[in-house]
Structure formats: C-alpha cells, structure tokens
Chains A and B, each alone.
Chain A
Amino acid sequence: MNALLSQLQINLRLYFRNTMALVYGYLFPAIFLLAFWVLYRYERVPLVRHMGELLTIAVLGGACFGLPTTMVSERERGVWRRYRLTPVPTLTLVGSTLLARYVILITAGLLQVGLAMSIGMPLPHHPLQLFIVFSCVAFAFMGLGLVIATLADNVPAVQALGQCIFLPMLIIGGVAVQLSSLPDWALHLSAFFPGRYAVGALQAAVTGGGLHEAAFDVIALLAIGTAGSIAGAGMFRWDAQQRFRSNPRKGWLAVALAAWILTGAAAEGLGRVALPAPPSTVANPVNAQAPANPPPAAPAAVSAPPAQPNAVPPVVSGPDSATAPASGTAARGSGERRAAESPVGRGGPAAPGAPTAGVSPPNAVGSRSSAEGPTPKPPATPASSPEQLATPAAWQAVTLANIEADLTFTRLPSDSGVVTPVAAMTQDPDPDVLDDLETIRTSLPEWGPAKVTDPLQRVRNLLLVAAVPDVFQMPIEPFVPWVVFAEIQRTVPKDDLMKILYWIALHPADGSNAAVEDLPALGIVRGRVDIEEARNRAAVYAVKLLGQLTGKRPAR
C-alpha cells in the first residue's frame, strides 16, 4: 500500500509539472467546452445537453492518449525496466498509474462541469450517479488506453493508434456527431464503440433518468473496461526492446476485441441500436384534431400576472433561452422529463449582442419552472413595458402595435445557421432530399393535424413540421420551412396568421404537441423528440414567418 500511494503521489506530481500534459488534460477539454458553447449558443440552457459528449471527449483524450503516451514514453526511456528491478508487484505499479490517471480524469471532469455551471448550466440531475457513471467511463477508456500502451512500440505509434480509435468514435461513434444525424449503417457501427455508451450514460446522469435509464450503457462500459484491463495486463511489456510483434502474449488482444464485438452484438440483439421510437412525448396529450387552443384565461402560463417580466419565452429571450439542435444523446434521453423540468424562463440576462428577437413578454410562460433551477431573471432589453401597451388576452386581440412593440426581427438566428435554418430562394435542394420534400409537400394538405379547425393549433402543428427536422438536423431542414410557410399561408388568412404567429412566438409552450406523433405520415421518422426544443424552434420559425408577412424581415 505504501508503494502504491508513493507511486500515485509521484505520478500526480510529475503530471502537474508537465506543461504539455496539463494543456492536453485540462486546456483542450475546456476549449472543446467553449467551442460547444459557441456552437450551441442558442440553447436555452447552456451545454446541459452536451455534457455527455464533453465529458466523454475529456476522458477519451486523457485515457486513450495521455495514459498510453506516458506509459510508452516511460517504457522507452527504461523507467519501467528500472522499476522491475524492485520487488514491487506489477499490479501495484500499473494500478497506481491507472489510479493517478483516474484522479486526473476526475479533476478534468469536475473542471468541465464547473466551467459549464459557471456559464449557466444547472447542477446535473444526478450528481452522485454522474460521478459513478464517469468512473465507469474512465474505467472503460483506461482499459482501452492500457491496450494501446501494450500495442504501441513507441510514442508515435500511440498517437497513430489513438487517432484510429479517437476519430471514428468522434465521428461515427456518437461522441461528437449526434446519433440522429448518422445513417443507419453508422448507427449500427456505433453500437460497437464504447463512446456511444459513454455519452449515453453520462447524459442520462446529467439530464436523464440516471443509472436506471443507462443500465445497459454502464454494463457495456464495465465489460469493455474489464476486457481492456485483462488484455492490457496479459500483454504488458516492461521493456522497450520487447516489441509487440514478438510478444508471445499478443493473443490477449482478442479479449479486448471480443468485448467490443459482444457489446455491439448485445445492443443489436436487444434492439438498442436504432434510436428509440417516439414515445408519448406529449406532456398534456390532446388530440391533434381537437380544438387545442385553450381559453385565454385557462393556462397558468397565460394567466400569469403581466408584472412578471422575468419569465421569458425561450424563443425570444437571451442565449440561455434560445434553442439548439438536439444531440443524439439528448434525443434518446428522457425528453419528457426534460420538458417537464426544463428551466423555461430560467434564463439569465441576454449577453451583449445575443441573437434574440428582443421581446418584452407580456405574460409568463415560465410557470413550469423547476424548483431546482436558478431564479428567473429579467430579460435584458425590453423593447417596451407592459404598462405602455395593453396585453392581448387572446390571439384574436393581438394588434400590429403589439407586434411592433414586443418583437424585433433583427437578432433572430441566421437563416443560414444551425438553428432554424431557412434555405434561400435560389438554393436548390440536394437530389437526395428531393423525394423527402416532395412527400411532405404532397402530404401536407391531407395531413390530419394540418386540418384541425382551430387555426392557432393548426399553425402550431404545421410549424412543428419545420421544427422537428431542425431539431434532428435532418438534411431537409432548411427547405421544409418553405413548404410549411406556403401551406400555412394557404390555409390561414393573413390577418389572422399574423396574430397567431405573434401568439405562438410569445406562448411556445401552449397548445398540444400531439401532432409530433403524426410526423411519420410525412416521412419524418426519427427518434424521440425533445418536444420543448421543438416547440421553441417552432416559435422561432413563427417569428421568421411573421417577419416576412410584416415586411420586417425580407425573405432570403
């Protein structure tokens, strides 16, 4: 034990004296975090839906690059050969090295979470379970790092091998590219990479149902980590002169590979490869065909006192309450739970220059704010105050003055951006998506939710047709708004439409979202949708269309 602790202490000391190690271990993950923050700046709650990815990237870098680089470098120098002249057992030396790396990874993870929380992310739903899951992820990837250390004969080989594992995991393994964006073959392939399980389990601890929801992911990680550790121990080399090619125990590699294959096969067998089908994502299920426009005074959101300007509709407040594309993990997380507990109206003040629509909310949509979230804050720059203009009690009462007072159109997400994109008139769709677009165009007039009698619900339903592909970043996403806008304008008179769009923009959480379940009829078939995210994007599209109708925001 004395040797283990001494070795652990020395390993940590040496790590913190190594500037490059600190850069790779702490600075790079922080840069990733900042990059994600910028990329997903329209998200209502910063980074909360990407912590699974960010933490996985931090562990991947430290365990699959940092760990084997250190081990192979020390082996090349002869440090391990010198250790072997002492009576200390191999298990103690390797164990202390892994333990030191674990401590480094934990601190890197804490730094990530701390940084994310400092810029507005709330405390993860299951902090203790996040710690447990993070430990499982670290275990899995350190096992992998150990295998790399035994495979690589020198440090450049570590870099090459690490990249061979790192990049596929990022791109088609569900770590940096959302699973919902992957083609089917890649979705199947991702089941054989531990990155997918790492992201899934971590995200479940941050925003989902925790360990219970991520049981398979955790088991997969433990299996992969155990197999990697066994294989690494079996192939362990003390001496740089021992090359992998001549290592008589290289057959142990099969153990690590078998774990990956068996895990993937189990995921296939248990039907866990494809993204889950949309569940009953409707928090308050209402038949899409039924009139869904509630009486103005009925919903708590609408009846909230106007003097509560801090509850900002997410679509039109600062970056904290803007929307963003759902990650693959988020898509498979418990969207219902997030919808129920998401901090609508929790957003802090808008950052300078934030792309908001500059709305002064006349009423509260934030009545569902979670008690565990931060206290709602007032919007940054109200364009007007409720005292100056009467707040309409129903959409029919909306006036042009309300629109001009409460909405600005200059700071919406860019049409060519990631969030709520709208293709330019001159932009031709790729041939690959033409069929999908045509399906939507021809099916839309006969689509049940597009024919409900209540025009407000009808418009909400149609806007969801544009919003959901946007959430999933489907290739058709920038083109669907044109089809939807055309259908909306065809079925709703312009005067009513302007009022309805205003109402939706300020009341994104109202009405029914049951229409989402009918999207497969339009060929929009994806996994579980984050309904609140979709509602918010529908609200942004509402403002964009309203901008066109009022001439405030010309079409591209």
Chain B
Amino acid sequence: MPAKVVVRDLSKRYGLVEAARGVSFDVEDGEIFGLLGPNGAGKTTTVECLLGLRQPDEGAISICGIDARREPREVKQHIGAALQTTALQDKITPREALGLFASFYRVSLPPDTLLHRFALSEKADAPFDTLSGGQRQRLALALAFINDPELVFLDEPTTGLDAQSRRELHAEIRRMKEDGHTVLLTTHHLEEAEQLCDRIAIIAEGRIIETGAPRDLIARSTRLQTVHLTTSARLDETVMDGLPDVSDLSQENMTLRFRTPAASRTIADLMQRLLAQGVEITELHVQKASLEDVYLERIATEGARDPHATSTGVSRQP
C-alpha cells in the first residue's frame, strides 16, 4: 500500500525564523505515527502545512495520494482532524455540530452513529458550553470522523484531560487503527507515544532528527540499563570488585545502584558472590532505556549542535 502521507523537504519561514527546514517523512497506511518535539521545534508548523492551515514556502506534500499543495480542498475530503482544543459556538449541540459538519463533506457518517461511538448520546442535545473537557474532546474526535476519513490528524489530543478520559481516548485511538484508519499524532507525552505509536519522528529546530519504531529507537540508544539491588544486609563495597562493564556505582543503605550494558551477565556474576556471602536479595529491578531517554539524548545532541536549543519540551504524564 502506498504511504498515506509523504512529506519532502518541507520548509516554512516566518520572517527571519525558519520554523521548518527541509522536513521529510512518510506515514504508512494503517499505522499510528507520532510526531514528537519540544515547543518551537516546528511540529505545529509542519502539521498546519499538512492540514492546509498554512502555505509552505517549499517542499512537496502528498496526502492519500493527492498533492496537498495543489488540491487542498480535495485532501480535506479524505482527512479528519482533532485540534488540541476544539472550540465551537457556546450554544451549539453535539448533534447539531455533527449535522453541520456532515453537510461539508461528500461522504459522511450518520451523526447518531458517531454520538453512540464516542459516548455522547446522553449529551447529544446539550449546549457545547455545558460539556466537560473530556466530552468536548470526544466531540472533537467525532467531528474528525464525520467523513469516515482515511487519515486522522490528532494534535495533542489528551492535553488537559484527566487520567480516566485520557485512558478512554487511548483506547479510541487504538480502535481507529484496528478499524483501518491511519493516524498522525502529535504529542508531548512520551509514554503516550511509546504506548500508541507504531513509528515516531522526533523533530527539533525545524528538522526531523530521528524516525523509527519506539523499540528500535530505544535499541539504538547508547543509554545503559540501570540495575537497582536491595539486600537483607548492607553489602561490602568490594563485592562489586572485578565485575566487568559496571559504571555509576552507588550505595544507599541496603540498596546498590549501577549501570551496565550487559545486565544479565553482570547480575548472574553478582548473584554467585552474594550466595557465597549468604546475603539475601529482597528486591531486584532492571530499568531499560526508555523513549524519554532516547528523546532527551537526541534533543541534547541536537542542542549541542545548535546553541539556540535550550528546552527539551518533554513532559511526563501525571
């Protein structure tokens, strides 16, 4: 299947600021693709160019096989979008909003179907200004699906939602993939990207600096695994002597912490020494490198190249 989104050498300048500098990436059919990047990295500009909200200075954009720069309105027939915050008129109801938006497309789903799917049936006739944040976001998703789109853009969809609403939204996004939709997701939440995305692209300073599946990116990371070991008695510090590839060794009370590129072999050697000393292990925890580690590592590397980069813009989910 051809890629749903093909972006090549996309550039956009605002005065002296180059917001996007030769951005290129593909989004394959049926995948959830995450676009990660700190504030000001060019993520929003890139997405806005894809959505037709901004006109790029240079580059090519193909969406669903259509040249998005030449036929932006045709592209919009095939895509849906839920922005970070969806604003509608205060007194419009979800049923009216869906009916209105349905009239904008050649093909549309019945509003009642979407109201049911996005758990809005009970609020179908309630004014928009009486909906909760989660209900508004579900309405935004329902509006994005009104034309049964091939490709869905989700821009920071969980921002401002509580844990329950976020969990429901994650389930909905997974369902989109199961139903065969392609999803392009922008998010600040690395765990969200790690959990949901088949592939991600990290964008910084207007450039794509890394692309791939989260596990591949983690595997490529040079970061070491961290081992936390808690024992029944305080260990003699010499117990670690001679163990290969151990670094950043530290001990606090009865917990030993160190980094190693070969956790299994190091732990096996350590176990033998502890057995010999008669020390019981009460807790053992091995922490692999996370997407956050990869992200921070790559952003830091990019920042070292570019003195203007000062913030990672990353956030942990509460």
Contacts and interface: CB of A to CB of B under 8 A. Distances in A.
Interface stretch (B20-28, B34-42, B81-89, B255-263): B81-89
Contacts of A89: 73
Contacts of A7: 100, 103
Contact of B73 (A5, A81, A87, A238): A87
A5 B103 CA distance: 9
B51 A85 contact: yes
A10 to B, nearest CB: 5
B91 interface: yes
B76 A87 contact: yes
Nearest to B102: A6
A18 interface: yes
Contacts of B92: 10, 14
B77 interface: yes
B53 A79 contact: no
Nearest to A17: B91
Interface string A232-258: 000000110000000000000000000
Interface in A84-112: 84-89
A7 to B, nearest CB: 7
B52 interface: yes
A10 B96 contact: yes
Contacts of B103: 2-3, 5-7
A65 B242 CA distance: 82
Contacts of B89: 14, 74, 77, 79
B53 A18 contact: no
A2 B105 CA distance: 10
Contact of B83 (A10, A17, A78): A78
Nearest to B99: A6
Contact of A78 (B87, B99, B100): B87
B105 A87 contact: yes
A238 B103 CA distance: 20
Interface string B81-115: 10101111101100010011101110000000000
A6 B100 contact: yes
Interface residues of A, number: 24
A337 interface: no
Interface string A1-36: 011011100100110011000000000000000000
Contacts of B88: 77, 79, 82
Given A17-B91, A77-B87, A87 B77 contact: yes
- Chain B interface category by residue count: 20 to 34
Q: Which of A2, A17, A79, A85 has the most CB of B within 10 A?
A: A85
Interface in A352-403: none
Given A78-B83, A85-B81, A18 B100 contact: no
B91 A3 contact: no
Contacts of B73: 87, 89
A85 B96 contact: no
B83 A87 contact: no
A84 B86 contact: no
B269 interface: no
B74 interface: yes
Nearest to A77: B87
A82 B104 contact: no
Contacts of A79: 87-89
Contacts of A17: 91, 127
Nearest to B51: A85
B87 A13 contact: no
B90 to A, nearest CB: 8
B57 to A, nearest CB: 14
Nearest to A1: B103
Contact of B91 (A14, A74, A77): A14
Q: Which of A74, A87, A89 has the most CB of B within 10 A?
A: A87
A85 B92 CA distance: 18
A87 B100 contact: no
A82 B86 contact: yes
Interface in B238-275: none
B133 to A, nearest CB: 15
A54 to B, nearest CB: 29
A6 B105 CA distance: 12
Nearest to B127: A17
A433 to B, nearest CB: 55
Contacts of A6: 99-100, 103
B139 to A, nearest CB: 11
Interface in A456-509: none
Nearest to A16: B91
Nearest to B97: A10
B96 A82 contact: no
B232 to A, nearest CB: 60
A455 to B, nearest CB: 71
A301 to B, nearest CB: 60
Nearest to A88: B104
A245 to B, nearest CB: 13
Contacts of A77: 87-89
Nearest to B153: A85
Contacts of A18: 91
Contact of B53 (A2, A13, A81, A87): A81
Interface in A57-80: 74, 77-79
Given A13-B96, A14-B91, A74-B89, A86 B104 contact: yes
30 contacts: A10-B92, A10-B96, A10-B100, A13-B96, A14-B89, A14-B92, A17-B91, A77-B88, A77-B89, A78-B83, A78-B85, A78-B86, A79-B87, A81-B53, A81-B87, A82-B83, A82-B88, A82-B143, A84-B53, A85-B51, A85-B52, A85-B53, A85-B81, A86-B101, A87-B73, A87-B76, A87-B77, A87-B105, A88-B104, A89-B73
Interface of A: 2-3, 5-7, 10, 13-14, 17-18, 74, 77-79, 81-82, 84-89, 238-239
Closest 7 CB pairs of A and B: A6-B103, A78-B87, A87-B76, A77-B87, A86-B104, A88-B104, A17-B91
Given A3-B104, A7-B103, A85-B52, 5 more contacts: A10-B96, A17-B91, A77-B89, A79-B88, A86-B101
